[in-house]
Amino acid sequence: MDKIIIEGQQRLSGTVDISGAKNAVLPIMTAALIADGETEISKVPNLKDTRTMIRLLEIIGAKCSFSDNNLKIDTKSVNNPEAPYDLVKTMRASFYVLGPLIARFGYVKVSLPGGCAWGPRPVDYHLKGLEKLGAKVTLKNGYIRAEADQLKGAEINFEYPSVGATGNILMASVLAKGTTIINNAAKEPEIVQLCQFLIKMGASIEGVGTTKIIVEGVSSLHSANIEVIPDRIEAGTFLIAGALLGELKLNNVIPSHLDSLASKLREVGCNLKTTNSSITIHPTDKLNAVDMTTDVFPGFATDLQAQWVALMATANGSSIIKDTVYHDRFSHVPELNRFGANIKVEKNTAFVRGVKSLVGAPVMSTDIRASASLIIAGLIAKGRTEISRVYHIDRGYEKIEEKFRSVGAKIYRESQ
Ligand code: EPU
């Protein structure tokens, strides 16, 4: 298994091009299944997760070709509406085939995703929503089967604005008969882009980007092309690294997607300058400790919580970091403490007491964003850090070592 090696405390400076968003492209790829034809998606990040989704689409019967961040999906021969356990267990986003396949075939069989490194992560909202649309949903041998001759529009009230459940119900409802109203829908930019793609395919959707989405069912969709929005979490990860380590300019970003992070970075003492499509961060040498609570968009993203904890590890003073989206998402904390950080976790809150400096250590990554926090800690720390299990980072960050190296970091990969 590969390791990432970092020699810390190098000043960073330069420009980084941000890739297309993982969490936007994955549902777009499955939405392509609703139509019969060829879809072309540009700015597709070359990640383990996008390659896993390509494999899944191929198992379902689609023909895919992927080169230079351009993905073509031909869905004419799609004939197998099933997502096997082997793929779903490596990537929960495989569950995004549920909505599109029941919409197109009236039948779908998807392995029930298990828990993950930070807790149970249920899919009950997806299933209850489908039942509301008239599907018969059963669980057998670890697989969810959903069937409906014709889905029917309904009013669905999510207890919590789940990103995945909003995406799945949207994709299921575009071909349902009549009107579907999704209350307490997710407003994340990735859901907005999914709506825009479905509209390009011929869907009728109102309330895009609000908590009330109204879908008027149509009889069929046609294929369409789209360019993936920039990855706000990758951008946020580089901004957090820049806060202490040097001036970084990020190209290919949508600054408004990063407002919550930007205002927190200003509170810690950094200066940020934005244009329409770039953000430049000027670091601070007196890092203030700043509390943070994650929330749904436009709040502070849970996918940047681990990186924020790493930044606060050497801040001046103590900070309290609460995750209201995923209550157990703190597997990075014991690893950050191996660098000499002083962090305690109680329930859904990390209490960080800033220390003078971190010292490099061998550490292990446990999920995508936890890995990113370990890279940030390794870049801040004195001496050598060795991060194992880096396959987690390869799921969600395109060429991360190359990008950090290009701005002056000493970071490389060792294949074992
Ligand atoms: N929830 C339920 N029941 C459900 C669905 C969700 O209780 O049926 C709960 C979850 O347990 C969680 C909360 O609702 O406490 C929010 O979960 P959500 O469904 O919004 O998350 P998701 O769709 O599974 C996506 C991203 C995650 C990101 C979250 C929150 C993708 C592929 N994944 O997950 O991204 O953390 O939204 O923004 O879009 C990552 O990229 O590293 C990642 C984990």
Q: What is the pLDDT of residue 15?
A: 98
**Which residue, judged by its Cα, is nearest atom 43 of ligand 1?**
303
Concatenated DSSP letters for 139-183? EETTEEEEE-SS-B--EEE-SS--HHHHHHHHHHHTTSBSEEEEE
Strands (DSSP E) contained in 241-377 are 248-251, 271-274, 278-282, 292-293, 318-322, 342-346, 349-353, 362-364
Q: How far is the CA of 318 from the centre of ligand 1 (A)?
A: 29
| Residue that has been written with the tokens 């250590």 in this structure | 361
Does the C-beta of 107 come closer than 6 Å to ligand 1? no
Identify the CA nearest to 332 among candidates 115, 118, 103.
118
Q: What is the pLDDT of residue 119?
A: 67
| Residue that has been written with the tokens 């919409």 in this structure | 103
Q: How far is the CA of 380 from the centre of ligand 1 (A)?
A: 29
Q: Between the CA of residue 306 and those of 72, 213, 259, 368, 374, what are the distances in Å?
A: 34, 31, 18, 10, 9
Sheet holding 155-157, edge to edge: 155-157, 179-183, 212-216, 204-206
Tell me the two tokens of residue 111: 């392995």
Residues 40-54: b if buried by 16+ CB within 10 A, e if exposed: bbebbbbbbbbebbb
Identify the CA nearest to 290 among candidates 314, 255, 324, 325.
314
Identify the CA nearest to 336 among candidates 327, 328, 345.
345
pLDDT in tens, the chain (416 residues): 899 999 999 999 999 999 999 999 999 999 999 999 999 999 999 999 999 999 999 999 999 999 999 999 999 999 999 999 999 999 999 999 999 999 999 999 999 987 666 666 889 999 999 999 999 999 999 999 999 999 999 999 999 999 999 999 999 999 999 999 999 999 999 999 999 999 999 999 999 999 999 999 999 999 999 999 999 999 999 999 999 999 999 999 999 999 999 999 999 999 999 999 999 999 998 999 999 999 999 999 999 999 999 999 999 999 999 999 999 999 999 999 999 999 999 999 999 999 999 999 999 999 999 999 999 999 999 999 999 999 999 999 999 999 999 999 999 999 87
Query: 221 near 190, Cβ under 8 Å?
Result: no
**Which residue, judged by its Cα, is nearest atom 25 of ligand 1?**
163
State phi, psi for 181 to the nearest 5 degrees.
Answer: -115, 125
**Residues with Cβ within 8 Å of residue 204, at least 6 apart in sequence:** 174, 215, 216, 217, 218
Q: How far is the CA of 76 from the centre of ligand 1 (A)?
A: 31
- Report the 10 Å Cβ neighbour count for 97: 29
Radius of gyration of the chain (CA): 21
Residue 107's Cα: distance from chain center in Å?
27
Q: How far is the CA of 163 from the centre of ligand 1 (A)?
A: 6
**Which residue, judged by its Cα, is nearest atom 18 of ligand 1?**
162
**Which residue, judged by its Cα, is nearest atom 29 of ligand 1?**
163
Tell me the two tokens of residue 293: 């609570």
Does the C-beta of 307 come closer than 6 Å to ligand 1? no
Sheet holding 143-147, edge to edge: 82-83, 107-111, 143-147, 136-140
Q: How far is the CA of 9 from the centre of ligand 1 (A)?
A: 34
Catalytic residue among 64, 116, 195, 270, which? 116
Concatenated DSSP letters for 328-358? T--THHHHHHTTT-EEEEETTEEEEE--S--
∠ CA 2-408-317, rounded to 5°:
90
Does the C-beta of 396 come closer than 6 Å to ligand 1? yes
Sign of CA dihedral 316, 318, 321, 327: positive
| Residue that has been written with the tokens 């994709």 in this structure | 171
Does the C-beta of 23 come closer than 6 Å to ligand 1? yes
**Residues with Cβ within 8 Å of residue 397, at least 6 apart in sequence:** 47, 234, 237, 368, 371, 372
| Residue that has been written with the tokens 């041998």 in this structure | 141
Query: 276 near 252, Cβ under 8 Å?
Result: no
| Residue that has been written with the tokens 């993950």 in this structure | 116
64 catalytically annotated: no
What whole-number distance in Å separates Cα of residue 304 and Cα of residue 313? 15
What whole-number distance in Å separates Cα of residue 273 and Cα of residue 253? 12
